[in-house]
Structure 1
Amino acid sequence: MLIMNRQRLRYLHYTVAPLMLFPLLLTALTGSLFQVAQLTGNSQQFYWLLDIHRGKFGVVNLEIIYPFINALGVIMLGITGILIWLQIRNFNE
């Protein structure tokens, strides 16, 4: 039974990680680029980055759920990653 839980945990982490990669990288990249634009005094020209950062992709507007998707994905990957790490650590001891 314990082996099955390990397999499910790894499968969950393995499945969700690639799905979360794009939204998290996009959020980090657009937020960082807008911060650079703001520091250089060019933020007026780059407000479109904030739209993407918040989840507004042209006609597709995910601004209401996009932050929650990112947050839940990070929390889930963090928890499953820590649990996998603890299992490997306990297995080796």
Structure 2
Amino acid sequence: MALFNNQRQLRRLHHLLAPVMILPVLMTLFTGVFFELAVTVDKTDEFLWLLSWHRGDFGILDLSDIYPFLNATGLFMLAISGISLWWQNNFKSRKKNIS
């Protein structure tokens, strides 16, 4: 049984979540990579702000307590909706081939 029976609703959900979720995911990715590069060249003191951003502390807006959970929830929802869309399309194409 599909998570969403109406593929249009599922596509709408996926298209709404994807642009919103790409920003925190990319920020987490790049700040993590760049901070590890700073560790490699022994410049961690100069780039501690990257670690703060990586954890969700954006100065005035401190989301460090919930940022990982927001990131994980958004990615989980995108994965579920994407897999469900793929599954529905894959199932329809198999049905057409059988007929």
TM-score, normalised to structure 2's length? 0.87
User: Alpha-carbon deviation of 1:4?
Assistant: 5.8
4+ runs deviating over 4 angstroms? none
| 2:39 is aligned with 1:38 | yes
Report SS of the residue matched to 2:27: helix
Partner of 1:54: 55
Amino acid at match of 1:39: T
Q: Which runs of 5+ in 1 are unaligned?
A: none
Amino acid at match of 1:34: F
Partner of 1:74: 75
Partner of 1:6: 7
Q: CA RMSD in A?
A: 1.6
Structure ranking higher in helix proportion: 1
Partner of 2:20: 19
Identity of aligned residues (%): 42
Distance 2:5 2:44 in 1: 51
* Structure number with larger C-alpha Rg: 2
Distance 2:42 2:57 in 1: 24
Q: Which runs of 5+ in 2 are unaligned?
A: 95-99
Distance 1:35 1:88 in 2: 40
Aligned length: 92
Distance 2:63 2:90 in 1: 39
Distance 1:58 1:42 in 2: 21
